[in-house]
Structure 1
Amino acid sequence: MHTVQLLLKTSKYERHEIDRRFRALAHLHNVCVKHARKCMIRLQHDKRYAELRQLYNELVKKEKMSKEEKSQKKKLAKQLAACRTEQGLSKASLEHYLKVCGKQFSKLLSSQQVQAEADRVWCGVERCLFGNGKELHFKKFVI
């Protein structure tokens, strides 16, 4: 795969407008990351979630599971997902949160851009919850 870079000749006004939009998007990303971090901390301190997760991990470690254990594993997975949703930690809840926060930037960013940013943050949350991610990072805007 190759990348072609073309020189973009913009006027001073266009550069200023592009910078404003990138700044707005970086700000929204950071707002969403802050909210997601708070939700993840609440989730870590939730005793019910910790108990369910411990039971789920015990079932996952087993090599051969009976039908009862498989059905119990599915029930636990649904309960874990419900706990995450209650804490506001789902893709839809992040999109809804950014929709409200993004209204102040409605002149600069479209709803699709805001929704895509929520999706990017959700991918990071998924890595932290289910993968090998350690923490969510804020976006640094450099001129």
Structure 2
Amino acid sequence: MIDKEYNKILKQYHKLSDRHILVVETDMPYSDVFKVVSLSNKIRRAGNELVRLMRKNYDQLLRTKRYRKLLFLYGITEDKSKRKILANQLNEMRKSYNVTWDYCRTSMIPIGKKYSIDAVFALTKAEDIWRGVEKCLYGNGNTIHFSKYGELPCIRAKQINRGIPVSVKDDKLQFKLGKTAFGIQVNDRFQQDEADDILTYLTESEIVDHKA
């Protein structure tokens, strides 16, 4: 198998894999914690600005009689060819009202720059917001919600080597956010086992990926 094909399959495997969450405490001093909370609030404000924009576009789309009629017809039509035609018409309307992932993603670029947010954090936030839009478009969601001030700080990045890079130092996990390096506090056997698994992957990622 050539490298290009292998990397494509591996990327698809990672995409379809379940998200695994390990909750741990950091060993950050209070001064660094304050910086993290400040950054999280910037991301929250930027996200709310994008939510406001996407919410406005979605509400305008939903108010059109043609879109509501197409949704109704799509829901009651059983013929596959007719459903495909209706789906294409719905997608065209979503494009015309800027209710698309591409518009959501590109709109976040200037917003992220406005709040001086790293591009990887801005993109991750845009993806979170788009998932909310998708629930409204294809699921049972009614509206896109704003993030409230005072909620637990949240900073996410999908790539292991960007945003908050993870590395191994002295056989321990080390994270880096900007110029701040920090580790984690392991409080029980379960956390230790999970941390050990992550360490194994980081030190032998090619072997683990090949086995997967």
Same fold (TM over 0.5): yes
Segments of structure 2 that go 5 or more residues without pairing to the other structure are 1-19, 152-212
Mapped to 2, the partners of 1:71 and 1:82 lie a distance apart of 17
1:138 is matched with which residue? 146
1:105 to 82, 107, 115: 115
2:104 is matched with which residue? 94
1:56 to 74, 81, 91: 74
Change (3 A) 1:10 1:133: same
2:51 to 27, 33, 45: 33
Larger Rg computed on CA atoms: 2
Change (3 A) 1:100 1:9: closer
Q: Which amino acid aligns with 2:129?
A: V
The yes-or-no answer on 1:84 pairing with 2:102 is no
Secondary structure of the residue aligned to 2:149 is coil
Secondary structure of the residue aligned to 1:138 is coil
Going by fraction, where is strand more abundant, 1 or 2? 2
Segments of structure 1 that go 5 or more residues without pairing to the other structure are 63-68
Mapped to 2, the partners of 1:36 and 1:104 lie a distance apart of 18
When normalised by structure 1's length, the TM-score is 0.81
Mapped to 2, the partners of 1:2 and 1:121 lie a distance apart of 20
Mapped to 2, the partners of 1:2 and 1:45 lie a distance apart of 39
1:10 to 21, 25, 29: 29
1:118 is matched with which residue? 126
Going by fraction, where is helix more abundant, 1 or 2? 1
| Residue 35 of structure 1: how far off its partner (Å) | 1.2
Change (3 A) 1:142 1:8: farther
| Residue 75 of structure 1: how far off its partner (Å) | 1.2
Structure with bigger RCO (C-alpha 8 Å, 6+ apart): 1
Mapped to 2, the partners of 1:103 and 1:73 lie a distance apart of 41
When normalised by structure 2's length, the TM-score is 0.57
Aligned residue pairs, count: 132
Mapped to 2, the partners of 1:123 and 1:32 lie a distance apart of 13
The yes-or-no answer on 1:71 pairing with 2:89 is no
Mapped to 1, the partners of 2:93 and 2:114 lie a distance apart of 31
1:66 is matched with which residue? none
Runs of 4+ with >6 A deviation: none
